Amino acid sequence: MLAVKVTTVGGSEGLILNKEVRRILNVHKGDTLYLTEAPDGAMRITPYNPEFERQMALAESIMHDDREILPVLAK
């Protein structure tokens, strides 16, 4: 288990990610992290935007279902 520390950053609270956590998440200063709630109420932290993933899945579905129309639209 890895631990992170909550600290004051200006008028807000922030998390301090140690070198190992940054390596595992593959994040650097200035990157955005996303918190999502798991079905059991736990929180998940990830560098991947879950909304973007949902949008890409929708786009792939549309591209598959309408594959005959897309080449015509591209002209």
Euclidean distance between the first and final Cα of the chain, in Å?
Answer: 53
Name residue, tokens 């140690």: 18
| Domain ranges, ordered by start, for the chain | 1-31, 34-75
Structure tokens that stand for 4 in this block: 């992170």
pLDDT tens digits, residue range 6-65?
A: 999 999 999 999 999 999 999 999 999 999 898 999 998 988 887 887 888 888 888 788
Q: Strands, DSSP E only, in 2-75?
A: 5-9, 12-16, 34-37, 43-46
Q: Is the pTM of this model over 0.85?
A: no
Phi–psi pair at 33, nearest 5 degrees: -115, 150
